[in-house]
Amino acid sequence: MKPLITAALFLCATAAQADLSGRVVSVADGDTITVLDGGNRQIKIRLHQIDAPEKKQDFGQASKQSLSDLVYGKEVRIEVADTDKYGRTVGKVWIGGTDANLEQVKRGIDLAQFRQTPS
């Protein structure tokens, strides 16, 4: 009986980490989006392994606009990694073959160059 329970728990954990897909219907900030899936459920997604400035911090609006330009209204696939303490799904967002998480970081590096003061 014990192996059967262990197998059932493993299958539940694996299913919880399955990929998601849908259309991006909202961009909250530079690292959080909302996706409408095939079942018309809205799922908040936090981009995995990045941290963008909050909306009221320096470059916060630029970061949000960058992510919006990248994903808003588009079909995406999410490689689910985790769920955060706020209940958001955490994952890597793909638009076709483009890693949106990585692209957002690259865009942030470009923005940061403007902040540097001349020597």
* Cα separation, 117 vs 77, whole angstroms: 39
**Is 107 in the active site?**
no
Q: Hey, which bits of 1-119 come out as E strands?
A: 20-29, 32-37, 42-47, 75-83, 89-95, 98-99
46 assigned to active site: yes
Relative to beta strand 98-99, strand 20-29 is: unpaired
Q: Which of 54, 77, 79, 103 is catalytic?
A: 54
Is 88 assigned a catalytic role? yes
Catalytic position from the list 23, 77, 88, 103: 88
**Residues labelled catalytic:** 46, 54, 88
